[in-house]
Structure 1
Amino acid sequence: MLSVKKSAVPSANMSKFLGKAALAVALATGLSSAALAQNMVVRSTGPSASSYPAGTKLANNARITLKNLDSVTVLSKSGTRVLRGPGTFSLNRTTRANATTTARLERFITNRGSSRARTGAVRSAGVEVATAAPKNPNLWFLDVTKGGKFCVANPDTLVLWRPDYTGSATASIVEPTGGNVTEVEWRKGNPLKKWPTAEAPLSSGAKYQVIGSNVPQAVEVNFVLLGKTPENLDEAAVALIENDCQSQLDLLVDTLGGGSDPEQG
């Protein structure tokens, strides 16, 4: 068994370490996901960013004091709040997510991919052709237009998602080191395609370029395998922050935000 001494945890990582420990204790005591969710910082910029780094957990009665040019985004079960300084903000809101919102969020963070990514399975995936700009409907679907680190809950169910599915399209998946190329195709109206695991195996640290026929430029994706699907918002946010899966964290924050206006001090 691996043991960790207190002195082995650098002070710069102490808040992240304590956040993980608190979550582990809560899970061990059998608390529900609703009870777990307090408030978690998911974005922080400005002079006070070092005081509220991403991943910091805050109690419901916490107060945040921000300076001019500060901006802190806080995630809770009911959504996100964007706080902008200068000013002092209280987090003791009692807003609760309604049943519809809760069900939508559960679908969003649940990894149910490959069985729904067959050709023509658009409606069963919860995606319908719309005139508005399409939005990635699942935290674990890989957007073919975005590169960087991407967290994978289960490599056997990884799905490629394309925002423009008005026509048919193809994409080339290129392994940069060996140059192996795997082609995938989408039929008109279908945004989903299962990742070709057999031809392009996944592992932590594996890198692939994705070149789409209707995508402006190629993107390189660096995969991080999580080993399990996070079961609630807390677990999902912690996993994305710790592994620097920024595009997914942005998607999570934007999906929960609902377009709410920032709160000014």
Structure 2
Amino acid sequence: MAQNMVVRSTGPSASSYPAGKKMANDAKISLKAQDQVTILTKSGTRVLKGPGTYSLTEGSGSAASASRRLSSFISNRGSSRARTGAVRAAGNVAVETPSNPNLWFLDVTKGGKFCVADANALVVWRPDYTGSATASIVEPENGKVTEIIWRKGNPLKAWPKDVLPVTNGATYRLLGSNVPQSVEVDFVVLQNRPTDLDDAASILIENGCTGQLDLLVETLNLNNGDSANQG
């Protein structure tokens, strides 16, 4: 039977439904008040809120459409065009916040563990590409600084791998010119590139790449328009 995977869990029952837990389609999920569990299914995501008991067979949809929409996002063939995310208000003007269009693009504003799908083709992405910008990459061990430059309108820049090798366990500090504070990134170079959503989610959970896992969940929610099930 098709598997369903927990990708996020909070509340009193979180220990019963840890991230990475897989369940069959006929599984029942019993939640208490304050519980919230996000499940990756073959058709996208479901967000379950307690109290209540849920069957994973309810609300299942077509896997094909979700897979087609998300194939480039997880295959390292993402577009250079950023998709639109949430909209926030800036005075009386609505500002569209772009979101990272590819799971394997390194967001210059995000720190923590970062899973690298292809060490020879790592790309650095910036959310604000209205003008030109730079980013300083600092090697913590010796303090050496390498700069990368984005041209106006371009959100992507290849990681300078000839100067700064992308190796498993390597740590770098990044500071973008339009970013309020620096972030530290720890590379986890994957042996095998994930081929589907299940593989991608499992690998991100296993390696502690929580920023990318959050991005994966956010992207799935935007694509399937899923609403939370509440008891």
Q: Compute the TM-score of the two structures, normalised by the length of structure 1.
A: 0.78
1:194 corresponds to which of 153, 158, 178 = 158
Query: How far has the Cα of 1:126 moved from its partner?
Result: 4.5
* Structure 2 equivalent of residue 150 of structure 1: 114
Say what the alpha-carbon RMSD is for the aligned residues.
1.7
Q: Which residue of 1 aligns with 2:38?
A: 73
Is 1:239 aligned to 2:203, yes or no?
yes
Are 1:154 and 1:227, in contact at CA under 8 Å, matched by a contact in 2? no
1:247 and 1:95, CA in 2 relative to 1: closer, same or farther beyond 3 A? same
CA distance in 1, matches of 2:125, 2:68: 21
Residue 129 of structure 1 and its aligned partner are, at CA, apart by: 8.3
Once residues 261 and 96 of structure 1 are traced to their aligned partners in structure 2, the CA distance between those partners, rounded to angstroms, is 16
What percentage of aligned pairs have identical amino acids?
64
Structure 1: which 5+ residue stretches go unaligned?
Answer: 1-34, 114-124
**Aligned partners of 1:72 and 1:157: how far apart in 2?**
34
Which residue of the other structure, out of 71, 77, 87, is the alignment partner of 1:106?
71
SS of equivalent to 2:99: coil
1:260 aligns with 2:214: no
* SS of equivalent to 1:137: coil
Indicate if the aligned counterparts of 2:8 and 2:38 stay in contact, CA closer than 8 A.
yes
- For residues 11 and 17 of structure 2, the distance between their equivalents in structure 1, rounded to whole angstroms, comes to 10
Letter of the structure 2 residue corresponding to residue 127 of structure 1: R
CA distance in 1, matches of 2:122, 2:192: 13
Partner of 1:46: 11
- TM-score after normalising by structure 2: 0.90
Which region of structure 1 is more displaced relative to structure 2, 239-248 or 201-210? 201-210
1:201-212 to 2 correspondence within 5 Å? 201-212=165-176
Q: Structure 2: which 5+ residue stretches go unaligned? A: 85-94
How much has 1:236 moved relative to structure 2? 0.4
Kindly name which structure, 1 or 2, has the bigger radius of gyration based on alpha carbons.
1
Higher strand content, 1 or 2: 2
SS at 1:72 equivalent: strand
Q: Sort the Cα spacing of 1:150 and 1:48 in 2 relative to 1 into closer, same or farther, 3 A.
A: same
Q: How does 1:1-265 map to 2 (within 5 A)?
A: 38-93=3-58, 94-99=60-65, 101-112=66-77, 125-127=79-81, 132-258=96-222, 260-265=226-231
Equivalent AA in structure 1 for residue 75 of structure 2 = T
Once the two structures are overlaid, the 10-residue window that deviates more, 90-99 or 168-177, is 90-99
Secondary structure of the structure 2 residue equivalent to 1:133: strand
Distance 1:150 1:129, change over 3 A: closer
> C-alpha separation between the residues in 1 aligned to 2:16 and 2:63?
28
Distance, in Å, in 2 between the alignment partners of 1:128 and 1:58 is: 34
